[in-house]
Structure 1
Amino acid sequence: MDLKLKGLKAILAGASKGIGRYTAEALAAEGVDIAFCARDQGSIDATSAALSAHGGKVLGASVDLSDPAAYRAWVDEAAAALGGCDIFISFASAGGPPASEDSWKNAFEIDLMGTWRGINAAVPYLEKSEAASIIVVGTNVSIEPAFGPQPYAAMKAAITHHAGALAQRLAPQGIRVNTVSPGPIFIDEGSWDKIKQGRPEMYDATVAKVPAGRLGKPEEVAAAIVFLCSPVVGFISGTNLVIDGAMTKRIQF
């Protein structure tokens, strides 16, 4: 299937590792020009080299997403360098540490405000696109708690709700907004890899809860994100796509 993505412009925040990196590679393979940011210059350089191999334009930058002025400036610079923006996705997350005042503040600043800031900065450019798409990255534990009270899940629930409301607000402007909510995804050197090594009982217990009998793969999530970005599915907006091997028991009415 031709997803009609070739030549589109994507701005990805926090996309040098994990699902963000896999999504960037999948979009680049479809012929999308990409601007992305992260914090670590080494990972930025490595990701830039990998994406450039697909032949499109690639711009990597080090940006602190908790700095509102710097974040907005980067989105402006990225859109100018790419010649517009058709796709905006923020992968930045403070992760899921135990609840504390600091972890709540950090999750609010990165997961919630980081997502809001990026979308707010990108909308003026998306309004000019004929294939505008925003993807919000949530989590399955924001709709069905699995690991107890935690700021990560609460902030992801907030941005999932915001994305649904935003989809209705922006639809008349030709901008689609969808959420992708992964379950536990195994990434080499990622959080579940570390849990498997350090807390094998928790890892095994989590796998046992997944009817599919395994954790997800980052490329599976990336493929779903790329599909939702495609103008081929231009009537899909306001949805929350849960990708968790049937782990979530809630019926998706």
Structure 2
Amino acid sequence: MNLNLNGKRAIVTGGSRGIGKAVIDNFVAENMQVATCARGLASLEKSLTEWNKAGTCVTGQSVDVTDEQAYANWFEQSVQQLGGLDILVSNVTTRIESKGIERWKDTFEVDLLQHIRATELALPYLKKGNQPAIVYVASIASVMTANMPSEVEYGTMKAALVSYATQLANQLGQFNIRVNLVSPGPIHHEQGFWEMVKQKQPDLYQRACAVSVFNRMGTPTEVANAITFLSSPAASNITAVNLRVDGGAIKTVNY
């Protein structure tokens, strides 16, 4: 299938590793122009070196997405370098260390507000883009009532993100901007959360694997493949969809 992504311009937040990096790997393979950001400079530089050695057009900068001005500056500079914007993949998340009410505030900043901030920055350009699309990375935690204690706030914010995105899809249809979400289940990647769990709590890791009908974790590439399709003109009549990439972990009938 030809996804018709050749030459398209995309911003992928949180692209240094995991799902974000896998998305950029796919976009690079489709001959797209990409800009990304990440908080960790070392992993970002490693990924940029890999992409640039392959002769691809990927730029990146270390940015804290909760720093509103720094984030806005990077975003505007990136769009100017790209010469416009066709696709936004809003992917950033992080593990919050704070406790109590501060944890709720920090999770709100990272797992909801920064997605909205990216959207507001992107919309003026997407309205002039070529077959524009937005894809948010949510989580099956948004619909689970038995999340781990460390994911209560995370799941709540991801639920709010799903609501926000589906309402946005209805609003932006008049501009031919498609808005979708991908909700991964547990994903194992190098230096990721579940790799740490596997090393320190193997029993918990196995229980998490068992929620999938395949009895395994998903991979970043499996999620990225869904994001790449939803970003592409091949999905031109798909909007307001929350696509679960979870190996059948959520046991519900979806009409």
Partner SS, residue 238 of structure 2: coil
- The aligned residue for residue 204 of structure 2 is 202
The separation in 1 between residues aligned to 2:45 and 2:210, in whole angstroms, is 38
| Contact 2:65 2:110 survives alignment (8 Å) | yes
Q: How does 1:165-180 map to 2 (within 5 A)?
A: 165-180=167-182
**What is the percentage of aligned positions where both structures have the same residue?**
38
- Alpha-carbon distance, 1:251 to partner: 1.5
Q: How does 1:135-174 map to 2 (within 5 A)?
A: 135-148=135-148, 150-174=152-176
| Contact 1:25 1:50 survives alignment (8 Å) | no
- The aligned residue for residue 127 of structure 2 is 127
Partner SS, residue 47 of structure 2: helix
- Alpha-carbon distance, 1:18 to partner: 1.1
Q: How does 1:61-80 map to 2 (within 5 A)?
A: 61-80=61-80
Task: Tell me whether 68-77 or 140-149 shows the greater mean CA deviation.
Answer: 140-149
The separation in 2 between residues aligned to 1:97 and 1:206, in whole angstroms, is 22
The separation in 1 between residues aligned to 2:55 and 2:37, in whole angstroms, is 19
- Alpha-carbon distance, 1:210 to partner: 1.6
- Alpha-carbon distance, 1:207 to partner: 1.6
Partner SS, residue 16 of structure 1: coil
Q: What is the alpha-carbon root mean square deviation over aligned residues?
A: 1.5
How high is the TM-score relative to the length of structure 1?
A: 0.95
| Contact 1:130 1:174 survives alignment (8 Å) | no
Change (3 A) 1:148 1:192: closer
The separation in 1 between residues aligned to 2:27 and 2:208, in whole angstroms, is 30
| Contact 1:5 1:231 survives alignment (8 Å) | yes
- Alpha-carbon distance, 1:144 to partner: 2.4
Change (3 A) 1:192 1:18: same
Q: How does 1:204-219 map to 2 (within 5 A)?
A: 204-219=206-221
Which of 229, 232, 242 aligns to 1:230? It is 232
Q: Deviations over 1:72-106 (max 9, x none)?
A: 22111111100011111122113366862222111
The separation in 2 between residues aligned to 1:55 and 1:173, in whole angstroms, is 34
Q: Deviations over 1:23-72 (max 9, x none)?
A: 11111111111100112222221111222244332111111211112212
Structure 1 unaligned spans of 5+? none
Change (3 A) 1:54 1:8: farther
Structure 2 unaligned spans of 5+? none
- The aligned residue for residue 85 of structure 1 is 85
1:243 is aligned to 2:242: no
The separation in 2 between residues aligned to 1:100 and 1:152, in whole angstroms, is 13
Partner SS, residue 128 of structure 1: coil
Change (3 A) 1:99 1:210: farther
Change (3 A) 1:116 1:201: same
- The aligned residue for residue 185 of structure 1 is 187
Q: Deviations over 1:132-179 (max 9, x none)?
A: 010111001211233246111100110111000000001111111000
| Contact 2:132 2:176 survives alignment (8 Å) | yes
